[in-house]
Amino acid sequence: MSLFIHIFCQADKPLRAREITHFIEEGAYFSSPPKVTVSPPPSQPDDAQWTELKIEYQARKRPVLLHREARAAKFKDDQDEAIEALQSAGLAKKHEALISRLKGAQQLIVFELDSEKATEECWEMVDNMEAWIAQELKGLIYVTGEGFYDAELKPLCKLAS
């Protein structure tokens, strides 16, 4: 089953594909380095224009995908979905600051992973990477159907009990 972890980033500074690859390699999460594929492939030294990274960490396991959108108009549906989740849970008034942060996002990074079959090492990598990205880019983390978290992965608002 796919799990989507959204990071709504307040900072508009680019996150380069090589920074992510370096973060994964430095973390030594896996016994052998995962294969990282960048789309579109970098055509110049500046690799900040990526829209998808595929992290193949183990044979016969679904890879972790990172999707990036740097134009707010392109991720308005994602913003609306997160706001609707707050409204549906009756939490919109209590969490107006979260809604303001969602609306002020400059870019969006979404992790997509198999929540049921991901290995413990994969989860460790994803948790550390989402915290790092949220810290670097002043991000608000939204896990679909679950809740909102700060850059230290501490809950700001739980949607389900």
Q: Is the pLDDT of residue 160 over 80?
A: no
Q: Give me the residue spans of the domains in the chain.
A: 2-158
Q: Is the pLDDT of residue 11 over 80?
A: yes
Q: Is the pLDDT of residue 161 over 80?
A: no
Q: How many residues does the chain have?
A: 161
Contact 46, 99 (CB under 8 A): no
Over pLDDT 90: what percentage of the chain?
Answer: 83
115-124: per-residue pLDDT in tens? 999 999 999 9
Q: Is 66 helix (H, G, I), strand (E, B) or coil?
A: strand
pTM for this structure?
Answer: 0.93
66-116: per-residue pLDDT in tens? 999 998 889 999 999 999 999 999 888 899 999 999 999 999 999 999 999
Please tell me the distance from the alpha carbon of residue 46 to that of residue 61, in angstroms, as a whole number: 30
- Please give the distance of CA 65 from its chain centroid, rounded to a whole number: 9
- In the prediction, which pLDDT does 40 show? 85
Q: Which of 153, 100, 107, 148 is nearest to 126 (CA)?
A: 153
Q: Is the pLDDT of residue 44 over 70?
A: no
Q: Is 54 helix (H, G, I), strand (E, B) or coil?
A: strand
18-35: per-residue pLDDT in tens? 999 999 999 989 999 999
Please report, for residues 23, 94, 107, 123, the alpha-carbon distance to residue 128 in angstroms, rounded to integers and kept in the order given.
9, 29, 19, 8
Contact 68, 108 (CB under 8 A): yes
Q: What is the mean pLDDT of the chain?
A: 93
- In the prediction, which pLDDT does 29 show? 93
